[in-house]
Amino acid sequence: MFDEDILIKQLTIHEGIILHVYKDSLGIDTIGIGRNLKDRGISKFELGILNKTIEEVYENGITEKDAHFLLKNDIAIVEKELLKVKPITNDIGVIRQLVLMDMAFNMGVPRLCKFINMWAALEQHDYNKAAEEMLDSRWARQVKTRAVKLAHSMQHGTYIYIKEKG
């Protein structure tokens, strides 16, 4: 499977790291490295590890260490969800797995599953078509540079380190 350290670096660049609660581009309360507080929230277990209440998180924010802890939990959840509904993810190589994990992290697995033509192309190992389908989406218009770079990685099976958020 993919290298989690590379995914963490990639997501940190793509999502940014903001240690206080903020509204994302869709107006959803978010913290850390893209932790959606509306849909995922912070579990009682996680709050226990952070040694904070949800009110304290909203008032005082979290540390960078806390943000990485939440991110690792998010990655584990997304990976499990993605492999359950799209087992092809195991058969496309680590770079393309990173691409799908990044996309799933950004939009959620249910929304990623709606990329019907991309998934059909992946089943055929047609990575040019998969990349084309990625770029022909509302998601790509929203995330712009991020989509272009991820599509390039999907198409070529090579990793582009992203140096700026986008």
Structure tokens at 20: 């206080």
Find the angle CA(28)-CA(32)-CA(103) to the nearest 5 degrees: 70
Mean pLDDT value across the chain: 93
pLDDT of 166: 43
pLDDT at 54: 97
- Type of residue found at 3: D
The answer to whether residue 163 scores a pLDDT higher than 80 is no
Indicate the DSSP class of residue 88. G
Per-residue pLDDT averaged across 73-99, rounded? Answer: 95
Q: How confident is the model at residue 26 (pLDDT cuts 50, 70, 90)?
A: confident
Residue 22 forms beta bridges with which residues? 30
pLDDT average, residue stretch 106-131: 96
